Amino acid sequence: GAGVSQSPSNKVTEKGKDVELRCDPISGHTALYWYRQSLGQGLEFLIYFQGNSAPDKSGLPSDRFSAERTGGSVSTLTIQRTQQEDSAVYLCASSSFGTDYGYTFGSGTRLTVV
């Protein structure tokens, strides 16, 4: 597609429920990143996928967070047993290996845990 697409744009969930956030990267981009943006804070790195390499999961805050990328394209970020502190905007970005274009971000999913 023309840009990075994220769905849903907004998600309200009850504490303790599981949620899945989806990211469709730009076609042909081999690198995909998830970041979290809390109110008034910068962007916190969560996980990075590059081609067929093992993902860099060093930013995942707890074992309730996981992500996968199927077929080198679409990615899903799953948060199990959501907590109120998980409320944030979750941003996905993709980039093309070997170019100088930098990241292209999606518009994010605003997650609210009530």
Partner 1 sequence: GENVEQHPSTLSVQEGDSAVIKCTYSDSASNYFPWYKQELGKGPQLIIDIRSNVGEKKDQRIAVTLNKTAKHFSLHITETQPEDSAVYFCAASLGGGSNYKLTFGKGTLLTVNP
Binding site for partner 1 (CB under 8 A): 4, 30-31, 33, 35, 40-43, 45, 48, 50, 56, 59, 91, 93, 95-108
Residue 48 beta carbon to partner 1: minimum distance, rounded to whole angstroms: 5
Nearer to partner 1, 1 or 14 (CB): 1
Nearer to partner 1, 4 or 67 (CB): 4
Residue 20 beta carbon to partner 1: minimum distance, rounded to whole angstroms: 19
Contact 107, 35 (CB under 8 A): no
Torsion of CA 79, 8, 59, 99, to 10 degrees: 150
* Pick from 17, 36, 15, 3: nearest CA to 83: 15
Residue 43 beta carbon to partner 1: minimum distance, rounded to whole angstroms: 4
The pair of structure tokens assigned to 112 is: 């609210």
Nearer to partner 1, 80 or 107 (CB): 107
Q: What's the number of CA atoms in the CB half-sphere (13 Å) around residue 72?
A: 10
- One-letter amino acid for residue 47 of the chain: I
